[in-house]
A = this chain, B = another copy of it.
């Protein structure tokens, strides 16, 4: 692996574990087996490392949304696939998620990144719901605030799964059911 990628990799792990402020350049260099100065050969400064990590996550999420879009078939199962897909995506990118969730309140690049994710998520959900409503597979609801509700739910689920894994107990199938009962009219 290239030095730059090793730095990013170690940084991802460390920031996820002990936070952005807790991750010192000295410790990062040591754990990556390089000298402290080398970090500055590849990144402008410490924040730049975070920016790269956030950009990577952004790209991964874009690709993920693309996959979801192409895979949808518009039936009433769509909503489930979307929710489960997002949970799966969270688990697949745990470290990145931890980084964003633990820092968006305090670091503006993280806040910016999280804002983008949330906006795209909201847009995607809105779009899906509008389509499904047109096809008559879900109830007639107010799209915008309902999409926000779904975003909120997903945000909360991720956090519960990330930070209280002990409590989890695999409650997400029931969360999906919860959403289905609210959106899909009974047969």
Residues of B within 8 A of A149 (CB): 153, 157, 171, 174-175, 178
Most buried by B among A122, A169, A178: A178
| Shortest Cβ distance from residue A90 to the other chain B in the assembled complex, whole angstroms | 12
The answer to whether B160 and A175 touch across the interface, beta carbons within 8 angstroms, is: no
Interface of A, secondary structure class, is: helix
Tally of A interface residues using CB under 8 Å:
48
Which of B139, B156, B169 is A156 in contact with, Cβ under 8 Å? B156
Interface string of A112-147 (1 = CB under 8 A from B): 001100110010000000000000000101101110
Query: Which A residues have a C-beta under 8 Å from some C-beta of B?
Result: 18-19, 21-22, 98, 101-102, 104-106, 111, 114-115, 118-119, 122, 139, 141-142, 144-146, 148-149, 151-157, 159-160, 163-164, 167-171, 173-175, 178-179, 181-183
> 10 A-B Cβ contacts within 8 A?
A19-B106, A22-B106, A102-B105, A145-B171, A145-B173, A148-B169, A148-B174, A152-B160, A155-B155, A156-B157
